[in-house]
Amino acid sequence: MAECGWYTAPVQRVVKRWRGRVREDLLQGYFFDVAFALRDRSREFNVAERSHWPAVFEFGLAMDKVLCDRERPAYWLLTLPVNVATNSELEPWGELSARIVKNGGPHFDPRTLRKTAERLKIT
């Protein structure tokens, strides 16, 4: 879940807003549906109750906010090519920062990347 952006601030605001009104397992399922739809551009949504659709839409808006902000480290850490990780270990933070710049992104201090990855629980 972490690799898809579950722990980003916008997504966690949606989770907090809907927790208690929608079961946790359904929230996670809706999030996965939205996250995969945004990456793959196609996905079927299985929404248990009509009243849950607003949560699905909010997940979409939250993920769009994260995946459209190329100036933040979360975007880069969540959209890195798979070959950047070896045996589930990211390359050294300085090299990762250089790769981001090479791909058209801003320079991030390696400590910022590490802290963001820890916050997003992808390390």
**What is the domain partition of the chain in residue ranges?**
2-67, 73-120
Which residues have C-beta within 8 Å of that of residue 2, sequence separation ≥ 6? 120, 121, 122
What pLDDT, on the 0 to 100 scale, is given for residue 28?
95
What pLDDT, on the 0 to 100 scale, is given for residue 83?
52
Structure-token pair, residue 45: 């949504």
As a whole-number percent, the residues of the chain with pLDDT over 90 amount to: 74
- Rounded to an integer, the average pLDDT of 32-60 is 88
What pLDDT, on the 0 to 100 scale, is given for residue 44?
79
Matching residue, tokens 């975007």: 75
- Rounded to an integer, the average pLDDT of 5-16 is 95
Helix orientation angle between 24-40 and 53-67, rounded to the nearest 10 degrees: 50
More confidently predicted of 41 and 29: 29
